[in-house]
Structure 1
Amino acid sequence: MPQQVRGVIARSKGAPVEIATITIPDPGPGEVVVDIAACGVCHTDLTYRDGGINDEFPFLLGHEASGVVESIGEGVESVAVGDFVVLNWRAVCGQCRACKRGRPQYCFDTFNAAQKMTLEDGTELTPALGIGAFADKTLVHAGQCTKVDPSADPAVVGLLGCGVMAGLGAAVNTGNVGRGDSVAVIGCGGVGDAAIMGARLAGASKIIAIDRDEKKLQWAKDLGATHIVNGSDVDVVEAVQELTGGFGADVVIDAVGRPETWKQAFYARDLAGTVVLVGVPTPDMTLEMPLIDFFSRGGSLKSSWYGDCLPERDFPMLVDLYQQGRLPLEKFVSERIKIDEVEQAFHTMHAGEVLRSVVVL
């Protein structure tokens, strides 16, 4: 039978979020109901609330989540009732041209649950990134569930569902950071710091953290940065070149996503270096640069969407590294909060006071 549970919704653009009773249908073919254990407060949720994604209100917010599979629909074989899973927002189809070329991380036809969760009056909800996990339970496609070690801390490993994976993957998967490489990361919020952690994991010899906030720079240093640069005090490009023998970094990751930071990344890399854009620009942003600079510098200019991850490959591996003490994911959890504290967590996040607030259910 359908269930009624608590959920955090955004009813209209910019309005404070609220707790509402939502209806979860029984899982249909290929669907799963997950009992949510924890869910991180991501900037994307705030962007949904403020109408920056689309206007398909009301939204059921939350997506960086972990939990336990409560029930499964017809045909589900990838997970079973009782499995501890991390949720993801790119359930690959296996049939599109990207999947058939052996590049499922670029899947062009990812899955979400076919049924809709609703309010008590039947109003359909739009789940954030197809998940909607600021709730006691949620309905997702089975492919959005990745089974991981059940002994792992739910509040920690759930963050792999979005921001941490995006940043870490930007370094390891998209940027192909290797042993001995020099890496610069512009923007030291959650995604940027995850990129720093990824660069460290990959064996980079020099990791330069760049931000305008001293608190964030200290967080970056704690997570593996070997050098810090305050962009409000110095020329970023000159600072990176000075720290890399005058050449520039092998890989520069822009975790901000603005024209000015992307230009800094472009000119702060070595001649054959790589730029990775993982910060998300707004639709109105444009870039104007001399075309000859693109031609004469070579290298690679890449965008990283979800860290080019493949959840079924990457999540279990990263959870294992965390469990072994080789990947300190717990440092991203700044505070653990209740479900009715999400609106305050948005203010805390916007003020730059936390890496991640995590709702524990």
Structure 2
Amino acid sequence: MAQQVRGVVAPGRGEPVRIETVIVPDPGPGEAVVKVQACGVCHTDLHYREGGINDEFPFLLGHEAAGVVESVGDGVTEVAPGDFVILNWRAVCGQCRACLRGRPWYCFNTHNAAQKMTLEDGTELSPALGIGAFADKTLVAAGQCTKVDPAAKPAVAGLLGCGVMAGLGAAINTGNVGRGDSVAVIGCGGVGAAAVLGARLAGAARIIAIDLDERKLATATSLGATHTVHARGTDVVAAVQELTGGFGADVVIDAVGRPETYKQAFYARDLAGTVVLVGVPTPEMKLELPLLDVFGRGGSLKSSWYGDCLPSRDFPMLIDLYLQGRLDLDAFVSETIELDGVEAAFEKMHHGDVLRSVVVL
């Protein structure tokens, strides 16, 4: 029987969000209804509200979530009612050419719930990243549920569902940071701070945090950065080279996603080094680089999709590290709020006042 729950809806481009009654249908084949316990406020949700993703309004926002499976549809075997899960937005299909080649983290055919959640008048909602978790309950594909140790706090666990995983994975999975490497991270908001943490976890010897905000640089230092560069009025490339013996970093992670920062990343890496783009650009942005420099510097230029994570592999491992005290995920929770605090949380995020506001239900 369909249920009525509260949900945070973006009704139109640039309009303030509002709490609406959302109709959640019973799960169909391959689907699950999850009782949401916590959901982080991510920049992507703000991009949805501003129309920066697409114009399929109204959106049911929220996607960095953890909760408990309430019910499942026919054919679901990977999770069961009562399981504590983190929701993910790249549920692998197992059948596409990437999956069949043993690279499921690149899955080209990720899937979401087939049914739509709606408003009371029947208007179909577009769930953010196929999740829509600023709600008491949400309907997702069962493959979007990753079972983890229930000892983890929901407010912390849910952050692995997007931003923190993107940053950790950019360093560990995409950048292949190794022991003794030098790493530079441009932009130390939630994703960049997680990249710093991932570089430390991977054993990097030198981790250079770069940002315009002293508060973010301080946070990066607490998470493992060995050096910081305040980017305002500073030649970032020269600063990174000076801190790496004149060579540049082995891995440079652009967690901003602008042409200016990408060029800094490109030239701040060592010869044969790696650039990882994990910050998301906007559609109108263009990049121009001398092709001879691309050839002559060698190395790898990579984009990191969701930290190239495989949720079934990475989420349980990272939660275990957190519970062992080896991964400080608590540092990312700046505040906990209620559903009606999302609009204010967007403003705090815009001004750089928080790493993450987390809605706790």
TM-score between both structures, scaled by the size of structure 2: 1.00
Q: Which amino acid aligns with 1:351?
A: H
**Superposed, which structure 2 residues align to 1:13-162 within 5 Å?**
13-162=13-162
For residues 22-57 of structure 1, the C-alpha deviation after alignment (integer angstroms, 9 at most, x for no partner) is 000000000000000000000000000000000000
Q: Which secondary structure does the structure 1 equivalent of 2:262 belong to? A: helix
Q: Which secondary structure does the structure 2 equivalent of 1:34 belong to? A: strand
Q: Which secondary structure does the structure 1 equivalent of 2:5 belong to? A: strand
Q: Which amino acid aligns with 1:119?
A: L
Alpha-carbon separation, structure 1, partners of 2:260 and 2:42: 24
Residue 151 of structure 1 and its aligned partner are, at CA, apart by: 1.0
Residue 288 of structure 1 and its aligned partner are, at CA, apart by: 1.1
Residue 134 of structure 1 and its aligned partner are, at CA, apart by: 0.1
Alpha-carbon separation, structure 1, partners of 2:81 and 2:182: 45
How big is the alpha-carbon RMSD for the aligned residues of Structure 1 and Structure 2? 0.4
Q: Which secondary structure does the structure 2 equivalent of 1:8 belong to? A: strand
For residues 45-84 of structure 1, the C-alpha deviation after alignment (integer angstroms, 9 at most, x for no partner) is 0000000000000000000000000000000000000000
Q: Which amino acid aligns with 2:48?
A: Y
Alpha-carbon separation, structure 1, partners of 2:80 and 2:271: 50
Alpha-carbon separation, structure 2, partners of 1:295 and 1:98: 27
Question: Is 1:227 the equivalent of 2:215?
Answer: no
**Superposed, which structure 2 residues align to 1:1-361 within 5 Å?**
1-361=1-361
Q: Which secondary structure does the structure 1 equivalent of 2:250 belong to? A: strand
Q: Which secondary structure does the structure 1 equivalent of 2:26 belong to? A: coil
Alpha-carbon separation, structure 2, partners of 1:33 and 1:232: 47
For residues 94-137 of structure 1, the C-alpha deviation after alignment (integer angstroms, 9 at most, x for no partner) is 00000000000000100100000000000000000000000000
Residue 233 of structure 1 and its aligned partner are, at CA, apart by: 3.3
Residue 172 of structure 1 and its aligned partner are, at CA, apart by: 0.1
Q: Which amino acid aligns with 2:170?
A: A
Unaligned runs of 5+ in 2: none
Alpha-carbon separation, structure 2, partners of 1:134 and 1:334: 18
Alpha-carbon separation, structure 1, partners of 2:287 and 2:39: 35
Q: Which secondary structure does the structure 1 equivalent of 2:169 belong to? A: helix
How many residues are paired up? 361
Q: Which amino acid aligns with 2:304?
A: S
Alpha-carbon separation, structure 1, partners of 2:199 and 2:138: 34
Alpha-carbon separation, structure 2, partners of 1:177 and 1:202: 6
Q: Which secondary structure does the structure 2 equivalent of 1:262 belong to? A: helix
Q: Which amino acid aligns with 1:116?
A: K
Q: Which amino acid aligns with 2:258?
A: R
Q: Which secondary structure does the structure 2 equivalent of 1:284 belong to? A: coil
Alpha-carbon separation, structure 1, partners of 2:69 and 2:240: 47
Alpha-carbon separation, structure 2, partners of 1:272 and 1:118: 51
Q: Which secondary structure does the structure 2 equivalent of 1:171 belong to? A: helix
- Identity of aligned pairs, percent? 80
Q: Which amino acid aligns with 1:114?
A: A
Alpha-carbon separation, structure 2, partners of 1:295 and 1:55: 39
Alpha-carbon separation, structure 1, partners of 2:11 and 2:215: 34
Alpha-carbon separation, structure 2, partners of 1:296 and 1:54: 38
For residues 229-255 of structure 1, the C-alpha deviation after alignment (integer angstroms, 9 at most, x for no partner) is 001132000000000000000000000
Q: Which secondary structure does the structure 2 equivalent of 1:57 belong to? A: coil
